[in-house]
């Protein structure tokens, strides 16, 4: 197959990262919208949990389906399709008047979000040199923090005065970015270089569980499940947790914005360490920091303690996310790389379904945040064990 045009590392990072930023902005906005819409529509904790969970159901479907599609038609095409899907569906969700219609559209938003993330990380990992691949993919993930900060700013300045619907309409604007990507973003050179016939979906899944890759697949599925389960359980509820602890909605949004700022140094330190020490060390260490911060945050009572441990939670958790996105595509050859990354992300999104629902059901049953965040701490510990026992180091190894 003929080679496509080339692009500089920094330009590729900027183009893919901007799409990643929009993805994060949409997920971030949802956490604030859940807090606002529950007051507007009088939702129970269980109904609030379903908003986050249906988003993850869509992400599970999107990650698996679009991951396989990217191994068939290319990374760039799927990147653009998913960007348009989640942007348009998010904008339309601003027009809903019932919880059911809102949930249907959030499923479509989730499908687009879930598909874009593993495909974007695969595209970038296949387009940079082995000695800087991990660092660049973690820096790609750092755009997630920028998107969350944008979401927090929109929530802080827009929702209290103009309502959650206006905030969601703003999230429809990234759809226009796909037009720019079509002209300026090349596809993965490794994908374009494949001349062998593309495998069927069943063949790809079988390959993931072949003797050669089964251990890697098991490790990724465990880590992704535990990380996403805890992340969406904790972070989609952060603004609501602050409201339930007695702070006003506008003050809660401001406090979450401060916690979110700690995501950026979390990414940058992980990016610096990942090529120097390795993927396994960075991933397991930052996950351990996440587990301990979650336990401390769940038991914090004072505003100072909540802000401190919330910031540490953001720092370690998002640094771990960056390492995980760098680590995942490195486990497989080009022919099944997007499928493997997408399948692991899809299993993770199943965890994301249960995380928000668990919080809603436990709160409804009268359990405190100490117990709830203790469960998330235990989940992350399981992920750490999987990385240490089953993981293989892939630092600066050339992709197959």
The pLDDT-based confidence of 2 (bands split at 50, 70, 90) is very low
The pLDDT-based confidence of 3 (bands split at 50, 70, 90) is very low
Residue 263 pLDDT greater than 90, yes or no:
no
Nearest partner of 37 among 106, 85, 87, 89, judged by Cα:
106
The pLDDT-based confidence of 195 (bands split at 50, 70, 90) is low
CA–CA separation, 265 vs 148, rounded Å? 14
pLDDT of residue 108: 95
Nearest partner of 221 among 344, 333, 353, judged by Cα:
344
Contacts of 89 (CB under 8 A, 6+ apart): 105, 106, 108, 109, 112
* SS3 label, residue 320: helix
pTM: 0.79
pLDDT of residue 5: 55
- The mean per-residue pLDDT over the stretch 274-293 comes to 94
pLDDT in tens, 116-139: 888 888 888 888 888 888 888 888
CB 90 within 8 A of CB 172: yes
CA–CA separation, 222 vs 386, rounded Å? 7
pLDDT of residue 39: 86
How far apart, in Å, are the Cα atoms of 62 and each of 113, 115, 132, 155, 253?
7, 5, 28, 26, 29
pLDDT of residue 196: 54
Top CATH class of 9-188+199-390 equals: mainly alpha
Residue 192 pLDDT greater than 80, yes or no:
no
The pLDDT-based confidence of 396 (bands split at 50, 70, 90) is low
Nearest partner of 266 among 371, 141, 90, judged by Cα:
141
Nearest partner of 26 among 100, 108, 98, 101, judged by Cα:
108
Instruction: Copy the structure tokens of residue 141.
Output: 């993930």
pLDDT in tens, 157-177: 999 889 999 999 998 888 888
Nearest partner of 227 among 313, 121, 140, 133, judged by Cα:
313
Least confident span in 167-176, 232-241, 367-376? 232-241
pLDDT of residue 251: 84
pLDDT of residue 114: 87
The pLDDT-based confidence of 400 (bands split at 50, 70, 90) is low
Least confident span in 175-189, 308-322, 372-386? 175-189
The pLDDT-based confidence of 141 (bands split at 50, 70, 90) is confident
Write down how long the chain is.
400
């Amino acid at each position: 197959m003929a080679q496509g045009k080339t692009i500089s590392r920094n330009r590729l990072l900027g183009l893919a990262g901007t799409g990643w930023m929009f993805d994060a902005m949409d997920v971030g906005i949802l956490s604030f919208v859940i807090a606002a819409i529950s007051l507007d529509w009088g939702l129970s904790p269980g109904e609030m949990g379903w908003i986050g969970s249906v988003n993850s159901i869509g992400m599970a479907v999107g990650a698996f389906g679009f991951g396989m599609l990217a191994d068939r038609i290319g990374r760039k095409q799927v990147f653009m399709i998913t960007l348009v899907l989640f942007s348009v569906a998010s904008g339309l969700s601003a027009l809903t008047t019932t919880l059911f219609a809102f949930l249907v559209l959030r499923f479509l938003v989730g499908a687009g979000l879930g598909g874009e993330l593993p495909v974007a990380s695969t595209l970038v990992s296949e387009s940079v040199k082995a000695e800087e691949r991990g660092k660049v993919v973690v820096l790609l993930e750092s755009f997630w923090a920028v998107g969350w900060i944008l979401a927090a700013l929109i929530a802080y300045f827009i929702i209290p005065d103009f309502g959650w619907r206006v905030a969601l309409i703003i999230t429809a604007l990234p759809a226009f970015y796909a037009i720019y990507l079509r002209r300026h973003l090349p596809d993965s050179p490794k994908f374009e270089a494949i001349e062998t016939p593309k495998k069927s979906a069943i063949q790809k899944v079988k390959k993931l569980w072949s003797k050669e890759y089964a251990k890697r697949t098991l490790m990724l599925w465990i880590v992704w499940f535990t990380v996403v389960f805890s992340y969406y359980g904790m972070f989609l509820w952060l603004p609501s947790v602050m409201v339930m602890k007695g702070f006003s909605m506008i003050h809660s949004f401001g406090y979450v914005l401060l916690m979110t700022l700690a995501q950026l140094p979390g990414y940058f330190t992980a990016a610096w360490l990942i090529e120097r020490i390795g993927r396994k060390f960075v991933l397991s260490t930052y996950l351990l920091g996440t587990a301990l911060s979650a336990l401390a945050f769940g038991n914090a009572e004072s505003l100072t303690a909540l802000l401190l441990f919330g910031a540490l939670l953001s720092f370690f958790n998002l640094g771990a996310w960056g390492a995980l996105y760098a680590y995942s595509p490195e486990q497989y050859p080009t022919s099944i790389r997007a499928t493997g990354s997408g399948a692991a992300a899809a299993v993770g999104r199943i965890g994301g379904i249960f995380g928000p629902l668990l919080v809603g059901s436990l709160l409804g049953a009268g359990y405190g945040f100490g117990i709830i965040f203790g469960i998330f701490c235990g989940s992350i510990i399981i992920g750490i064990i999987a990385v240490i026992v089953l993981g293989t180091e892939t630092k600066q190894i050339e992709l197959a």
